[in-house]
């Protein structure tokens, strides 16, 4: 990131983006530069600041995000009943609306719009984000999820965007597990009932699921089904295959219908009510996206620089005054790395917020509870003060640090004399 120690001070540079994002009032490039100048002991000119917004900086911030994800918990842990799995994983994505001038780089579903998609693979057991990807809005969530041996003994929770019988088969064949909502148009063949009903219960075996749903008056449905799907292409052809899974329905009295789930988890270990409870763990990643959007305004971009979008996408991505406060010719408008820098900065802001929340929780009384969204608002309101205190500390450290050449000369002088 930096070849030699000159005017730019990298610790102050990074923290200016992190806390500048959290503070909220300074999400323009000029605002981030002001944050830096108030933190470092030497100011930097607009030109000197802008020329540092490079793809290398975006990669560096991404490395910091990945390092932070290994160190910081995001968000709450799952119930201990799921300890039999190595990990519980939640895949999901969210759309971030961008300036319409970025429609070529970030193609949206509708014309005259631009949108980026942030995709996360959230490890709810370890409370970390295992993987993050960005793509244009038209990229389907499903294509960003890859199967493989890493699935062994992991439980995956999917929303309908990832629904695909072939994917479920591959998870099962890699010794993994999954729970997904059943698509509205999915109508698998029932091959057996996994629970016996007393009295004159309607027999379900051999019938299509949708054909019997309206006739049922039971709290739970628990059946084995057979589904048909196409295998991946091989020698230019795709062969048909079948697989048997379990479909569970939990009656929703308010809507007078069933919430239907498809899974490969065995009934002897997980009853229908257990599966519905497990699926609610998906709300963890929804809360994470909501915090990023509401507290850090991650989806409010107003810039025509593709790289600024990605920088803003990785630091908090709020660039709304670029065209009015700065001349666009000061930027290479085809660059996407500024967007990445800002997006990574947003994620770093989130990680720092959660790390501070852990420290506060450790010091607080046991009965005190800090809801994450309320804490995020508190963190944002104090971000400028924290940055000021941090700036004084960094300046003190920077002034005390000996010059490298002097240190080297001092270390080698006794040996030279001898």
- The 3-class SS string of 295-319 reads CCCCCCCCCCCHHHHHHHCEECCCC
Taking the C-alpha atoms of residue 82 and residue 89, their distance in angstroms, rounded to an integer, is 11
Closest of 9, 74, 29 to residue 339, by C-alpha: 29
**H or E segment and range at residue 285:** helix 283-294
What pLDDT is stored for residue 317 in this prediction?
Answer: 29
The rounded distance, in Å, linking the Cα atoms of 285 and 232 is 30
Give the pair of three-digit tokens for residue 211: 């054909």
* pLDDT (0 to 100) of residue 109: 81
Q: Parse the chain into domains and list their residue ranges.
A: 82-286
Q: What is the pLDDT of residue 416?
A: 54
Q: Among residues 179, 65, 301, which one has the least CA distance to residue 167? A: 179
Other beta carbons within 10 Å of 159: 17
The SS3 call for residue 153 is coil
165, 210, 158: which is closest to 184 by C-alpha?
210
Task: Report residue 240: phi and psi, to 5°.
Answer: -85, 150
pLDDT at 244: 96
- Cβ contact 348:137 at 8 Å: no
Question: Per the structure block, which two tokens stand in for 398?
Answer: 């920077």
Kindly write down the DSSP assignment for every residue of 336-378, as one continuous string.
-HHHHHHHHHHHHHHHHHHHHHHHHHHHS-TT----HHHHHHH
**pLDDT of amino acid 183:** 92
Q: How far apart are alpha carbons 308 and 333 in whole angstroms? A: 9
Give the C-alpha separation, 285 to 293, whole Å. Answer: 12
- Mean pLDDT per 10-residue section of the chain, whose length is 418 residues: 73 85 68 84 84 85 75 46 80 77 78 79 78 81 86 91 93 95 93 79 88 86 94 80 94 83 91 85 71 64 51 38 28 55 79 83 77 78 86 78 61 57
Q: Which residues pair with 178 in a beta bridge?
A: 156
3-state secondary structure of 79: coil
Nearest CA among 307, 298, 404 for reference residue 350: 298
Residue 22 corresponds to which tokens in the numbers above?
Answer: 């959290």
**Sign of the CA dihedral running 170, 173, 176, 177:** positive
Residue linked to tokens 């196409």: 230
Q: What is the greatest pairwise CA distance in the chain? A: 102
- State how far the Cα of 135 lies from the Cα of 109, in Å rounded to an integer: 13
Indicate the DSSP class of residue 188.
P
Beta bridge partners of 87: 154
Model pLDDT, residue 175 = 95
Pairing outcome for strands 114-123 and 314-315: unpaired
């Amino acid at each position: 990131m930096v070849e030699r120690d000159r005017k730019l001070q990298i610790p102050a540079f990074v923290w200016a983006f992190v806390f500048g994002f959290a503070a909220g009032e300074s999400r323009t490039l000029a605002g981030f530069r002001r944050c830096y100048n108030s933190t470092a002991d030497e100011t930097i000119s607009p030109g000197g600041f802008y020329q540092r917004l490079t793809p290398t900086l975006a990669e560096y911030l991404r490395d910091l995000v990945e390092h932070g994800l290994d160190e910081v918990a995001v968000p709450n842990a799952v119930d201990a009943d799921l300890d039999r799995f190595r990990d519980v994983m939640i895949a999901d994505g969210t759309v971030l609306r961008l300036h319409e001038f970025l429609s070529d780089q970030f193609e949206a579903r509708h014309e005259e719009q631009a949108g980026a998609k942030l995709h996360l693979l959230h490890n709810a057991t370890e409370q970390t984000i295992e993987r993050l990807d960005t793509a244009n809005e038209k990229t389907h969530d499903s294509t960003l999820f890859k199967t493989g041996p890493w699935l062994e003994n992991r439980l995956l929770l999917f929303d309908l965007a990832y629904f695909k019988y072939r994917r479920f088969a591959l998870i099962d064949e890699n010794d993994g597990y999954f729970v997904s909502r059943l698509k509205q148009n999915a109508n698998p063949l029932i091959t057996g009932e996994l629970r016996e009903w007393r009295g004159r219960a309607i027999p379900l075996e051999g019938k299509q699921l949708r054909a019997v749903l309206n006739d049922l008056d039971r709290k739970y449905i628990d059946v084995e089904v057979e589904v048909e799907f196409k295998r991946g292409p091989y020698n230019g052809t795709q062969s048909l295959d079948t697989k048997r899974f379990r479909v569970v329905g939990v009656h929703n009295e308010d809507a007078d219908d069933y919430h239907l789930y498809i899974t490969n988890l065995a009934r002897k270990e997980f009853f229908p009510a257990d599966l519905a409870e497990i699926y609610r763990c998906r709300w963890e990643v929804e809360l994470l996206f909501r915090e990023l959007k509401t507290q850090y305004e991650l989806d409010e971009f107003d810039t025509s620089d593709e790289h600024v979008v990605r920088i803003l996408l990785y630091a908090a991505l709020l660039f709304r005054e670029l065209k009015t406060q700065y001349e666009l010719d000061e930027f290479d408008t085809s660059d996407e790395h500024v967007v990445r820098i800002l997006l990574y900065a947003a994620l770093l802001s989130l990680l720092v917020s959660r790390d501070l929340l852990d420290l506060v929780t450790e010091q607080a009384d046991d009965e005190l509870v800090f809801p994450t969204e309320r804490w995020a608002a508190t963190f944002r309101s104090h971000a400028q003060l924290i940055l000021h205190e941090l700036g004084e500390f960094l300046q003190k450290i920077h002034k005390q640090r000996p010059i490298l050449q002097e240190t080297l000369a001092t270390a080698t002088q006794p040996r030279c004399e001898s």
